[in-house]
Each structure stands twice: as structure tokens, then as C-alpha cells.
Amino acid sequence: MPVAFDYELCDGCGVCSAVCPGDVIYMKGERGEKLPFNRYPDECWHCGSCRQDCPQKAITIVFSPDMLCI
Amino acid sequence: MGKNDQEPIRLKTDVLVIGGGLAGTNAAMGAAEAGASVVVLDKGKVQRSGDIGGGVDHFMAYLSTGPEWDTRDAFLGYVEKVGRGTNHLSHIESLFCDELPDAIERMARIGNPLTQPDGSFYRTKSMGQPGPYWINFNGKLLKPRLARAVSKLGCKVLSRVMTVDLLLDSGHVAGAVGFHVHSGRFYVIEANATVIATGNTNRIYENPRGNPFNTWLCPYNTGDGQVMAFTAGAALTNMEYMRLTMLPKGFAAPGFNALTGMGGRFMNSLGEYYMEKNHPLGNRAPRYACVMNSLEEMRAGRGPIFIDCRGLTDKELDHLETTLGYDKDTLPDYLAQRGEDLRKQPVEIMVSEGMQAGPTECNGSGIKIDGNAASTLPGLFAAGDAADHNRCVHGAVTGGYRAGKSAARHAKSLVGTPREPATITRGRMEQFMAPLHRESGTPYWQIEGTIRKIMSEHVGMARTDLGLRTGLQKLERLESHLDDMKVSNLHELMRSRETRSILTVGKMMATAALFRTESRNRPYHYRLDFPETDDTNWSGLVVVQKRGTGFECSLEHIVYSSH
């Protein structure tokens, strides 16, 4: 997954999902306990906006083997 | 899902801006500061949408500091040299040069100056420039700052709304229709002036890295604005140019301009510095020349190719390390995860995917505009990569603001003019939503993958009359399958609308490329059957327009006098 969430740090504020320019990150779970996930991982542009804007610093960008190894 | 049983949300405004990227936000500022009410529509969220959503590190400008190269005249001479026959210099003067001092001041005013912390400009030279025109700066927060500036001016910003149709009132563009990609609710925005700032077209050629979203420019920019303008009757130009650039292998991140700007050298697998051998300007040659020579190295079997930065000073490498992540936030992570170290070894690079975008850094491809950013349709303006006389960061900031000012002036001139109320029929809304309700059909990605294959095989780097005709026929055949597309949710509906735009842009590119029987800015337009550049007959813009259900091309000659 391009965007790795640390769910220990994440407080479910939803900023990552809101700013994602590709509509890639969605929130799931019950009201008040929603957490982000990569709904369309193949469509991520790796722009890093989610990581920059995450107030909890809970996001790491992980590149896939095809991008790292060709 | 797809609440087309509900009435659309209706808004009225002086100026509507479609696309809230760098050009769109500057257009919104230009219009609002001229006293207009403004609505901005964006498929994403303006804080981080568009090509520079995650950040940017360069802005091209002359600063009139004294040296001969640092003047307006020298800059225009450069624009003419690299983009001969692809732009009107008078448009570049009004859209860029006249707006430049205010643009530099505005960047500082919104809290994102182009200067270093000590107040100086850090300038580098590449791409055939006569002097260091690139200003290197920290633009990581530029989009959030622009979003704040736009809100402060009272503009109404609607996020996650994809615009699908322009509204026309007796040939005058009167606003637009869009749908919300999460709720499916339709929006009808009535406007006296409309600015299209939706960027270039990506995902249109096969991606050498596999994933079609692994693109240099924003993969969510898919030519939607150009196609809406074209469908409404506007003229487009420079559509024949297939833009390419040089990128890190495996990740289509911008930012490597900075490497050659600071002294990085293109190297083949024999250890030869091929640009130094093949071009008088060496590694600082115009971009298309770097691309052409890199392709030749690969074709001759001398790949892989690299950029070698080992000759840079420690001070320069320190600066690079700091700023690489300004242009693409995640590029330092990528290089680290891949085990690359600029200081110790050459970094492998590759030629990018093709895209529809301007043939140089100084002029664009798309909606035909005049020196005030007005299109050929009354009430319609364009800016940024969607327009034919804007490109790159500097073009979006200056040309965007000019488009906003011009749109505001036009809107004011129409106050009191009676207008038919803009609307969308229930039938049209149902037509948009139909892919959601099909029992079976073709997924958008299958159609889109086929477009990319056709474009790469027949409308790519080496073009011929028969090849282009074959490509056009195939695109037309594929077009008959667009109405078979089935999507399972609104996100996919958005993607399927993008697929439609990409196909129409592909047809425009093939048609214009077929018309231009010469080569220009190779490999961006390279005809194997007409390999020479013919300035006598072909200096000018190929204008593409809709005629009935087809396309019509004509040449608008450009004659250069001075510079």
C-alpha cells in the first residue's frame, strides 16, 4: 500500500482523506472511530500531501517493489 | 448513490473558475481582487490539488538585475529560440512579462516568497536558457497558502465536484454543470465569465513504468477542460505535441531539472557524457533535445542512462538534498528506499510517458487564448496547462491571474444583460449517471488502456501519415464503445468521464499531427515522412476546431521580426 497508516498514532481526523487529490484515501469504521485506508492504492500519485498534512505524523509513504526494482 | 432524482444545487456568480490548481487559484485571486464574485470547482480539494499540490521548487523568471541575459528582451529571445513557431511572443509578453512583477510580489504577499530565508534569489540555469532563469524556492505549502488566500477573498470553493459540461446561452459560455463525486448531487453554476484551468492531459500514452497513474504531471489531469471547450466550439492549438521529459527510473517524480541545473551530467552505460558530445549546450540543452538524445542512446543499446552528480561541490549537494523534496515531497524517500545516493553514484533515469502538454517550458498546448487569456468563445477564458500560451509554474501564476482579471472585466460588462437561466435537463443528468445503472459493460480502465496502446503505437514519437490515419480509425472504433462503460460507484464514474476526455484529446492530437507535415521540437512532433523543420511553411499554430461531428485544422502563421 502506498500510504501506510500508524493506527496507534492516527486519531481518525480524516485530513488525509480530505486532501488526497486522487480520492484514493477513504475512511471506514463506526462514527467517532473512523480510520483511513487506501481504497484505490493503484491510483496514488505519491504526492505526499496526506503525510505533510497529517497532524499526528501517522503516515509513511511506502513504494511498491515494481517502482523500487525496475 | 447518484442522486439524480434530486434537483441540482444552483449557484450564480460573476466568474466561475473550473480547476483549483496553481492557475485556477491565481485566476480566482485575479477575479476577486478585481471585485467579482467567484466560484471555484475542483475534482479534488484546492488545498492540495493539481500539479503542485504536494509542493514545487522552481519558477522561471528574468529579474532585470543588470546583466544582458536578465532582461525582458533576452527572455523573449530565449522563448523564441526554444519555441520557434509555437507561440505568439506578443501573448507571452502580456500574459507573462506584464504580469511578472505583480506575480513575484503576490507570492510574497500570500506568505510564500520566491526568495531564500536570507532574502536572496537562488537561481540555476538549464534547458537552453541564456542565464539562470530558474528560481529555486520552497513551495511545499504553496497550495495551502493559495487556498487560504482564495477563501480570504470570499471565493466560494466547491471540492470534489467534477465539471462535465459548459452551459451556453446563444453562443456565450454561461457557466457549467458538475457532479459531486461522493454524493452524486449535480451543481449548476451560472456565470457571466468562465475560466478553464484544468491542466494538461495525462494517462494518454502507455506508461513505461507500468502503472498509468505513475506520471510526471498530475494523473488526475485528463484534459477535461480542453474537451469541454472544444465541444462548446472553442479553438485549440499546439495539440500535436507529445510532451516528454527525463525522470528517475521507476518513479515519475519531477525535481531532476534541479540536478542538471546545478551541473549534473547525462551519462550512458559506457560512461560517456552524451549530451556534452551531442549538443553545444551540453547537459543544459533544451528539454526536447535532452529527451531526443536520451532516446537515441537507448535505441542504440547504450542504456541504461544516468545522471551523474558526483562532480558537484558539497555545498551544491547540500542544497540539492534540501530542495529535492520541495518539488516532490516523496522523492527523497523514494531514492532512500531504492538505495540511491546522489553523492556516491550516478542515478538511473528514463524518458517519461508521453502526455499532451506544451512543446516548451514557456508555451502551452490547449485552448487557444489571446493576450488577455480570452478563448475564441465569448465568456470563456483559459489559463495554465489547459491554455496554449501558458505553461509551467511561472505561466500558471502570471497567466492565471491575468485570466481572472479579464474574466472579471468581462463579467462586469454583462451586468444587466438579460440571460436565459442556465439549466440541465433530467435526461442529461440520467445520461451522465447511466454507467452506474448498467447490468453489464466494459470497465473504464479497459477502454483507457486501449487508448494508451493506440496512442503509443500510432501517435507517439515517430509518426507517419498512414500510422496516424490508422490510429485515428482505431480511436474512432473505440469511441463507439464508450457508451458501454459500466462503473460500480461515483469514483469510477469520475474516472470513466476522464477516460472520455482522454479519448477526445487523443483524436485531437492525431488529427493535428496528421495535418502538420513537417517535424518540430523533435521528438514532440516527429514525422518520419517529413523529418525536417520547415519554418517557411509551418512556423505557426495548428488550430483544431469542431466542425459538425468532425475536426477541422488550419494553420495560423507566425512571422518573427526581432529578438
So what's the architecture of B246-349 in CATH?
Alpha-Beta Complex (3.90)
Task: Give B126's pLDDT tier (boundaries 50, 70, 90).
Answer: confident
For B73-78, the CB contacts below 8 A with 24+ separation are B73/B563, B74/B130, B74/B131, B75/B133, B76/B563, B77/B130, B77/B563, B78/B128, B78/B129, B78/B130, B78/B133, B78/B362
Is the Cβ of A10 closer than 8 Å to some Cβ of chain B? Answer: no
Computed on alpha carbons and rounded to an integer, the radius of gyration of chain B in Å comes to 22
Domain residues of chain B, as ranges? Answer: 246-349, 426-557
pLDDT of B174 above 70:
yes
CB contact, 8 Å: B389 with chain A?
A: no
pLDDT score, position B531: 98
Task: Give the residue carrying C-alpha cell 443528468.
Answer: B429
List strand residue ranges (DSSP E) for B365-472, in order: 366-367, 380-382
Encoded amino acid at B413, one letter? S
Residue listed under C-alpha cell 476577486: B32
Residue B338 touches partner A, C-beta closer than 8 Å: yes
Q: What is the mean pLDDT of residues B467-488?
A: 97
Contacts 24+ apart (CB under 8 A), B253-256: B253/A46, B253/B216, B253/B327, B253/B328, B253/B330, B253/B331, B253/B334, B254/B216, B254/B217, B254/B327, B254/B328, B255/B57, B255/B324, B255/B327, B255/B328, B255/B331, B256/B307, B256/B349
The distance of Cα B28 from the centroid of its chain, to the nearest Å, equals 18
Residue of B nearest to A47 (CA): B54
Binned at pLDDT 50, 70 and 90, residue B5 comes out as low
**What residues in B contact A2, CB-CB < 8 Å?**
none
Q: How many CB atoms lie within 10 A of CB B429?
A: 21
Q: Is the pLDDT of residue B3 over 50?
A: no
Distance separating alpha carbons of residues B433 and B153, to the nearest angstrom: 35
Cell 485530513 found at: A15
B contact residues 20-49, partner A, Cβ 8 Å cutoff: 43-45, 47-49
pLDDT higher than threshold 70 for residue B167: yes
Mean pLDDT, rounded, for B443-454? 98
B314-362 tens-digit pLDDT:
999 998 888 889 999 999 999 999 999 999 999 999 999 999 999 999 9
Contacts (Cβ under 8 Å, ≥6 apart) of B466: none
Lowest mean pLDDT of A28-37, A41-50, B370-379, B457-466, name the range.
A28-37
Say yes or no for a CB contact (<8 Å) between A21 and B338. no
- Average pLDDT, whole number, for chain B? 95
Q: Tens digit of pLDDT for each residue in B497-537?
A: 999 999 999 999 999 999 999 999 999 999 999 999 999 99
Q: Which residues of B touch A42 (CB under 8 A)?
A: 211, 213
Contact B338 A47 (CB under 8 A): no
Pick the closest to residue B368 from B236, B511, B542 (CA basis): B236
The CATH number of B426-557, from 1.10.287.3510, 1.20.58.100, 3.40.50.1370, 3.20.20.150, is 1.20.58.100
pLDDT for B562: 58
Distance CA B190, CA B2 (A): 22
Q: How confident is the model at residue B84 (pLDDT cuts 50, 70, 90)?
A: confident
Q: Is A47 on the interface with B (CB under 8 A)?
A: yes
Q: For residue range B413-425, what is the model confidence (pLDDT) as tens digits? A: 998 888 777 778 8
pLDDT band at B254 (very low <50, low <70, confident <90, very high): confident
B165's torsion region: left (phi>0), alpha (psi -120 to 50) or beta?
A: beta
pLDDT tens, position by position, B190-249: 999 999 999 999 999 999 999 999 999 999 999 999 999 999 999 999 999 999 999 999
Cell of B359: 512543446
Parent domain of A64: 3-69
Q: Is the pLDDT of residue B1 over 60?
A: no
Asked, as a colleague might, if the bond just before B208 is cis with ω within 30 of 0, I would say no
pLDDT of residue B527: 98
Tell me the C-alpha distance between A21 and B219, whole Å: 10
Phi, psi of B166 (to 5 degrees): -90, 150
What pLDDT, in 10s, does the model give residues B100-124? 999 999 999 999 999 999 999 999 9
Tell me the backbone φ, ψ of residue A61, rounded to 5 degrees.
-95, 125
Q: Please name the member of A19, A48, A70 whose beta carbon is closest to the beta carbon of B329.
A: A48
Q: Note the pLDDT of residue B2.
A: 47
Percent of all residues in chain B with a pLDDT value above 90, rounded to a whole number: 89
Would you say the C-alpha torsion B507, B194, B143, B179 has a positive or negative sign?
Answer: negative
Q: What is the pLDDT of residue A29?
A: 94
Tell how strand B156-158 and strand B38-41 pair up. Answer: parallel
Q: Which residues contact B322 (CB under 8 A, 6 or more apart)?
A: none
Q: What is the pLDDT of residue B333?
A: 96
Reported as a pLDDT band with limits 50, 70 and 90, residue B127 is confident
Number of domains observed in the structure of chain A: 1
Mean pLDDT within B144-153: 98
E strand or H helix at B477, and its extent? helix B465-479
Q: Which of left, alpha, beta for B386 (phi over 0: left; psi -120 to 50: alpha)?
A: alpha
Tens of pLDDT along B86-105? 999 999 999 999 999 999 99
Residue B65 CB-density burial (10 A; 0-12 exposed, 13-18 middle, 19+ buried)? exposed
Distance from CA of B49 to the nearest CA of A (A): 5
3 state SS of B530: strand
Which run of H or of E encompasses B38? Answer: strand B38-41
Per mean pLDDT, which range of A29-33, B55-59, B281-285 is the poorest? A29-33
Which CATH number covers residue A7? Answer: 3.30.70.20
